[in-house]
Chains A and B, each alone.
Chain A
């Protein structure tokens, strides 16, 4: 749909004549209902203001509750009051104009200069679409000077000192101005002078900012509610308007009775207070008007403002039907494209069931049921919706015929959309199949947590039920989980096993894993496979062979990994172990399966292998304790050697530097060269430690095995626990320098020490504990990384949000160009090369195989 183009919007203030025209009734009684519970004529719920109770007829338009739009009334204020929301503008106008003749306080020459500068705006008028602010830079600065002017250049009147006190008090030479005096002054201002001040006299005359008529909104805007006890409770706005009329009436009586000026002024001020708080009950400088209970009233401004105001709450935020939300938890026995829905939710959500000649038997069967799954509502051909209850079930069963739509409870196999906020990418909403389960949480397979970025520490997720067949088809073909196994970012598998599942697969496929008949049968039984591979001569089953049973028949695959070659021949794993890399992250086993066997086979493989992996870690038992991080004698020896070498090398560099013999790096001073060379040397120490660790691989050390499998922990973690922490970095990437002026970080370090340990090279490890100085250095490093993390997340998160909002409705057309919702041409060819990143790995694999 092409939206209409709005050329401009103009806001102005309302004129008293306009209020009179709009108003259908003058209100003058400060009450709502009489003793009989009937609305009082001239009261705040006068029936001419519109009707909201069903059955009544509006006295103004003759329409009934649903069609009567409501009509405005008005209150005639006996004494004018200032509109507090505009007092700043009134102040500006009083400052810039003469208090006697009303002319702007610029002399003719200045006026001409100003007009010349802003000719365009002044000639074309305020409808020309110029934005107000654009003209005002110079204008405001020149007008600001006006308040210091002593004498009017037009009539020569000496200007008194003007003072404004929020919200509605104005003084000249410390004499309080009454609102009617202010109105007289504002009335005197010339139209041409107003244009110079940036006010369009056609749209808003300044004198309208002093109110003598108050527009009263229709009852539709401030409906009264009837409590259960039969008591009526009025809206806050009605309460406020009652106050205004009451004070207005008292003021009128006092004036007519010739009361002393002091009493009149007091009442006048009270009227001003009520009108001010009617517009905005949070106006600074006045105490907020309160309810009897002590709660402050919600008046006009409060209705619109802020998060819970009309704009952000009602207009920008909408609520959705056919949706559910609850806590999520894991279920490894649920397929990756399923979602476990609590029975309680499934029996409230509905899917339309279109009755035809061919399914009417089924429809009747469902309709006759009294328990889940049954029909909740029936929509007949004329669009009438009937709730199905025990009392009318029999009647409706006779009534049902082709063309009716039944609203059926959610059942196994229905397509639903599942979402976790924040929805940062398209994989945050995927289509799942319903699986109705007991208990109260949504259940998902562990493998689909990654695209949602979900965990189970209390996360909640939303579920939406597509209603039309078109919507269901669209969800099925575009959003099903199996179509989104590969990430649109780089084509790596994003729906995949991780953590424990990887550990399990790694241990299962290790060369020395042999299973008993019982174990093998148990694992394969979980996978739904009821035959065994060939046992070896001892009657044992190789772990690799058990794993091979899960692979698609006849699969051929070969790849080099960090842990050696990974070879599958004719559906049998010949060589290599499964690591994290096998499950995505560079390795293309998934890509190969998807390419040769299709997404459904890949989906099944992910699901089945994750079940088996989980079963096997449980069977094998992987434990990590402090002993895993105790360095053995070989490692301790290496650690001492590496630290000694590093420190020796560094100190010889420092010595060279001290006698000015250090060979500087190209383009660096000698000091900078030393710094860079030391950092390089310390990095070498780290890689030496890594080599030493890898060499001392211990198959009984679970922590180490998990690192190699890629399921948890990396080499750096191991190094820091068993060897040494290494150089602690700062935000700028250099060594830690901050501290005393003698170039030391702590008082325990010798002045001007530029060696490694003085600037954050930590030689102790977590197992032995950190020395006090090392602990401090480590603290510096930790703080830096925490600060960095924060900076990175806030900055990149917002950048990403802006980017994805800007790109959100781009799509690829049939001619391979990219368009947006308004058919704007974004790219003539998608990506410039027509390559979809999801499929890029497919292409690379194909290329590799063709060689």
Chain B
């Protein structure tokens, strides 16, 4: 599922396989990621559950780059 607001970079929930390979590639655990609250408008729209990882397609410097956030209760 993806968000589609014109002013907000695209957010999407990652599936487990993708998450596992990300953690392996980056040599991190989920606790090393920035957080996003379940009450965040984008997380709400995706109805994200705590523990899931949201992938953000940011373009604020021209080229697209990815950003990952851990969904937490709040």
Q: Show the binding face of A for B, using Cβ within 8 Å.
A: 815, 817, 822-829, 831-833, 835
Contact of A833 among B28, B31, B63, B67 (CB under 8 A): B63
Interface size counted on chain B using CB atoms at 8 A: 16
Closest to B56 in A: A828
Q: Indicate whether A831 sits within 8 Å of B66 (C-beta atoms), given known contacts A823-B27, A825-B26.
A: no
Q: What 9 A-B pairs come out closest when comparing CB atoms?
A: A832-B61, A833-B61, A824-B32, A829-B65, A832-B65, A825-B32, A828-B66, A823-B32, A825-B33
A730 CA to B4 CA in the complex, in Å? Answer: 46
Q: Which residues of chain B have C-beta atoms less than 8 A from A832's C-beta?
A: 58, 60-61, 63, 65
In Å, the complex CA distance between A835 and B63 comes to 12
B41 within 8 A of A: no
Residue picked from A822, A824, A825, A829, most chain B C-beta under 10 Å: A825
- Chain B positions within 8 Å of A822 at CB level: 32
**Mind listing 13 A-B residue pairs with CB under 8 Å?**
A823-B32, A824-B28, A825-B34, A825-B68, A827-B67, A828-B65, A828-B67, A831-B61, A832-B58, A832-B60, A833-B62, A833-B63, A835-B61
CA distance A815 to B27 in the complex (A): 11
Closest to B66 in A: A828
B28 near A823 with CB under 8 A, answer yes
Docked pose: A815 CA to B22 CA in angstroms: 13
Query: What's the Cα separation between A832 and B63 when bound, in Å?
Result: 8
B residues engaging A (CB < 8 A)? 26-28, 31-34, 58, 60-63, 65-68
A824 to B26 alpha-carbon distance, docked (Å): 10
Tell me the bound Cα distance from A191 to B31 in angstroms.
Answer: 41
Closest A residue by C-beta to B62: A833
A825 smallest CB distance to B (angstroms): 5
Enumerate chain A residues within 8 angstroms of B66, measured Cβ to Cβ: 828
The minimal Cβ–Cβ distance linking A603 to chain B, given in whole angstroms, is: 32
| B34 / chain A contacts, CB cutoff of 8 Å | 824-826
Q: Which residue of B lies closest to A815 (CB)?
A: B26
Q: Name the residue of chain B whose CB is nearest to the CB of A824.
A: B32
In whole Å, how far is B12's beta carbon from the nearest beta carbon of chain A?
15
Known: A823-B32, A832-B58. A817 touches B26 (CB 8 A): yes
Task: Please measure, in the bound complex, the distance between the C-alpha atom of A815 and the C-alpha atom of B60, giving whole angstroms.
Answer: 21
Residues of chain A lying within 8 A (CB to CB) of residue B65:
828-829, 832-833
A827 and B65 CA atoms in complex are apart in Å by: 9
Complex CA distance for A35 and B67, rounded to whole angstroms: 78
Q: Which residue of B lies closest to A823 (CB)?
A: B32
Q: Which residues of B contact A827 (CB under 8 A)?
A: 67
B58 to chain A, nearest CB (A): 6
Contacting residues, chain B, for A815 (C-beta < 8 A): 26
Q: A831 contacts which chain B residues (CB < 8 A)? A: 61
A713 to chain B, nearest CB (A): 39
- The interface residues of chain A lying within 8 Å CB-to-CB of B63 are 832-833
Report the separation of the CA atoms of residues A828 and B61 in the bound assembly, to the nearest whole angstrom: 13
In the complex, what distance in Å separates the CA atom of A44 from the CA atom of B41?
68
Set of chain A residues within 8 Å of B32, measured between Cβ atoms: 822-825
- Rounded to whole Å, the gap between the CB of B72 and the closest CB of chain A is 14
The docked-state distance in angstroms from the alpha carbon of A829 to that of B58 is: 11
Nearest CB on A from B25, distance (A): 8
State the Cβ distance, B39 to closest chain A Cβ, in Å.
Answer: 21
Contacts of B68 in A (CB 8 A): 825, 828
C-alpha gap A643/B63 in the complex (Å): 52
Extra contacts besides A825-B33, A833-B62, A833-B63 (4): CB < 8 Å: A817-B26, A823-B32, A828-B67, A829-B65
Q: Is A825 within 8 A of B28, CB to CB?
A: yes
Contact partners of A823 in chain B: CB under 8 A: 27-28, 32
Q: In the bound complex, what is the Cα–Cα distance between A831 and B65 (angstroms)?
A: 10
Alpha-carbon distance between A153 and B60 when the two chains are bound, in angstroms = 67
Q: Specify which chain A residues have a CB less than 8 angstroms from the CB of B67 in the assembled complex.
A: 827-828
Contacts of B28 in A (CB 8 A): 823-825
Cβ contacts under 8 Å, B62 to chain A: 833
Task: Tell me the nearest residue of chain A to B69, going by C-beta.
Answer: A825
Min CB gap B30→A, angstroms: 10
Q: Once the chains are docked, how many angstroms separate the CA of A29 from the CA of B33?
A: 63
A532 to B27, CA, bound (A): 62
A817 surroundings in chain B (CB, below 8 A): 26
How far does the alpha carbon of A826 sit from the alpha carbon of B28 in the complex, in Å? 12
Tell me which of B61, B62, B68 has the highest count of chain A C-beta atoms within 10 A of its own C-beta: B61
CB-CB < 8 A to A824: which residues of B?
28, 31-34
A87 to B61, alpha carbons, bound, how many Å? 60
In whole Å, how far is A834's beta carbon from the nearest beta carbon of chain B? 9
How far, in Å, is A773 (CB) from chain B's closest CB? 52
Which residue of chain B has the shortest Cβ distance to A820 in the bound complex? Answer: B32
User: How many angstroms between the C-alpha atoms of A128 and B58 in the bound complex?
Assistant: 41
Within 8 Å CB of A835, what residues of B?
61
Question: Which residues of chain B come closer than 8 Å to A828, judged between CB atoms?
Answer: 26, 65-68
Rounded to whole angstroms, the CA-CA distance of A722 and B67 in the bound complex is 57
Q: Tell me the bound Cα distance from A825 to B58 in angstroms.
A: 16
C-alpha gap A87/B14 in the complex (Å): 58
Bound Cα distance from A823 to B27, whole angstroms: 9
CA distance A252 to B58 in the complex (A): 80
Cα distance A825–B63 when bound, in Å? 20
A695 to chain B, nearest CB (A): 43
- With a 10 A CB-CB cut-off, give which of B31, B60, B62, B65 has the most chain A CB atoms: B65
CB distance from B27 to the nearest CB of A (A): 7
**Residues of chain A lying within 8 A (CB to CB) of residue B58:** 832
The chain A residue with its CB closest to the CB of B26 is A825
A831 to B62, CA, bound (A): 11
Separation of A831 and B58 alpha carbons in the complex (Å)? 12
Chain B residues near A825 (CB-CB < 8 A): 26, 28, 32-34, 68
Residue of A nearest to B60 (CB): A832
Query: What is the CA–CA distance of A817 and B32 in the complex, to the nearest angstrom?
Result: 13
The chain A residue sitting closest to B58, CB to CB, is: A832
Question: Which chain B residue has the least Cβ–Cβ distance from A817?
Answer: B26
- Most A-side CB within 10 Å, residue of B32, B33, B68: B32
User: Please, how many angstroms separate the alpha-carbon atoms of A828 and B27 in the complex?
Assistant: 12
What is the bound-complex CA distance between A817 and B25, given in angstroms?
A: 11
A826 CB contacts on chain B under 8 angstroms: 34
> A827 CA to B33 CA in the complex, in Å?
9
A132 to B34, CA, bound (A): 29
Q: Report the bound CA distance from A827 to B60 in whole Å.
A: 13
Shortest Cβ distance from A51 into chain B, in angstroms? Answer: 49
A346 to B32, CA, bound (A): 46
Minimum Cβ distance to chain A for residue B36 (Å): 14
Q: Closest Cβ of chain B: how far from A769's Cβ, in Å?
A: 54
Residues of A within 8 A of B33 (CB): 824-825
> What is the distance, in angstroms, from B74's C-beta to the closest C-beta of chain A?
17
Name the CB-closest residue of A to B63: A833
Distance to closest chain A CB from B59 (angstroms): 9
CB distance from A810 to the nearest CB of B (A): 13
Give bound CA distance, A829 to B57, whole Å.
Answer: 12
CA distance A825 to B22 in the complex (A): 12
For the complex, what is the distance from the CA of A485 to the CA of B15, rounded to whole Å?
Answer: 47
- The CA of A828 and the CA of B22, in the complex, are separated in Å by 11
CA distance A846 to B31 in the complex (A): 41
**CB of A837 to closest CB in B, whole Å:** 12
Report the minimum CB–CB distance from A25 to chain B (whole Å).
51
A822 CA / B68 CA spacing, docked (Å): 17
A835 to B65, CA, bound (A): 13
Q: Closest CB of chain B to A833's CB: distance in Å? A: 4
Give CA–CA (A112, B68) in the complex, Å. 47
